[in-house]
Structure 1
């Protein structure tokens, strides 16, 4: 089911044309949200991130674009999709048609898509999950890389490389050759009681689950959480590696080259994340 500016359409309805700025220039932002039994996980965080990103890109935020409106439009779209209690929602915002690189207007439109999910909980998989470095192209270490924009061609090419070489994911590097993130989420490394994740200044996505885990770990006296640059040389020294995103929650990495990782901390974190998600709703 698709919601275009408040009107619901079927998945087979085509409404974008060759002048769409999201298509022409990647002039678009999106939020991917998890919705279970009509409750949006971490609603406020997603809404505030989208509003902040729109301001950075100089998009005009409509007066009615409140958090209540954001929630209502998502729920309306979910109700049009009756396949199960759990959904993956993509809320896309793009600048309206007109202009070349410089737009004629900063007014926006939005599209909401809803797809069913199998599980109502975050579940840690137990299958082999091998990653490798992607070194053909690099992430820029700047604020634009922190935003969830439609400019994801690097991730697309990395995904193809991963598929061609039978990896489950790839780790993206910035121009300083530091590990930034995975194709589809933020990266955490565990070494003893120290847990590291790349800082925003290195170019990683400002992930919602990343923020939640950092906050959670800061309050846990059993761990020390550090936002520090991660060198590829440090990957094989770590005890554990996991990837985070809104839909999957936590994904345990089992293998990187000759290194086999534990999944002990990820198992603890996914339980706490489920509890946090339920509290949030």
Structure 2
């Protein structure tokens, strides 16, 4: 069952036709959200990121679209299913006619809930994806439906039996993984690319920066990262809200330890 504009319907019920702007132009945003112990993890962070993204894309935000409404609609969707779903995708799209220029800016939403296996892999091998690159601008920080570069990078990883790929921007700097933000560890310094380099404004990224920024054992910096810096790093890890923290064990000929990542994982354990 899915939630379409507040109505619980079968996912086989064709509520969205081929004229939908999310399908035709990628005119849509989404949040991937973790559910744990019947609660929406990082609910406020997801809500405020979605609101900021809708404003950036000049989508109309309905008056009833409050934080409480956002949370309630997600939980309603969970309750309409088996109740043990742990991954929710909340998609908002511009519900209007028109070509590139829409006839209005009204929005609709769809909420999907799934049960997925959340596994942090012991061996996690990654490589660089260089066929297509991310533009280093503010729009790239938003989770829109325009994710073809991530899709192609994912296919490249599958074809070459990698667990993931690192994406670059047009300045040839490291941006992120196909499905999460990237952090490098060198000594006690934790580095992640700045939003100005085009990485997604990740919810887990934000919380890790906040937590580590208060910990005197580590120094956190947002700085541009060259591909060569990956090979020089002591440790590398991926973050997203579903998996949390996934250590990287191998990049090309470099093998990484996971000692510091394990410490960071313990620090973040109570946050989801």
TM score, norm. by length of structure 1:
0.94
Alignment of 1:57-68 (within 5 A): 57-68=57-68
CA–CA distance in structure 2, aligned partners of residues 151 and 22 of structure 1: 9
What is the CA distance between 1:18 and its match in structure 2? 1.4
TM score, norm. by length of structure 2:
0.97
Confirm or deny: 8 A CA contact 2:96 2:106 kept in the other structure.
Answer: no
Confirm or deny: 8 A CA contact 1:196 1:225 kept in the other structure.
Answer: yes
What is the CA distance between 1:12 and its match in structure 2? 2.1
Moved over 4 A (4+): none
* 1:28 counterpart = 2:28: yes
Matched with 2:16 is: 16
Matched with 2:210 is: 215
Matched with 2:90 is: 91
What is the CA distance between 1:272 and its match in structure 2? 2.0
* 1:109 counterpart = 2:108: yes
Confirm or deny: 8 A CA contact 2:96 2:105 kept in the other structure.
Answer: no
* 1:234 counterpart = 2:234: no
What is the CA distance between 1:232 and its match in structure 2? 0.5
For 1:80-116, what per-residue CA distance to the aligned partner results, in whole angstroms no more than 9, with x for missing partners?
12152x5100000000130000000100000000001
CA–CA distance in structure 1, aligned partners of residues 14 and 261 of structure 2: 41
* 1:258 counterpart = 2:257: no
CA–CA distance in structure 2, aligned partners of residues 99 and 10 of structure 1: 28
What secondary structure does 1:74 align onto?
Answer: helix
* 1:159 counterpart = 2:158: no
CA–CA distance in structure 2, aligned partners of residues 41 and 57 of structure 1: 25
Q: CA RMSD in A?
A: 1.1
CA–CA distance in structure 2, aligned partners of residues 13 and 192 of structure 1: 53
CA–CA distance in structure 2, aligned partners of residues 260 and 272 of structure 1: 24
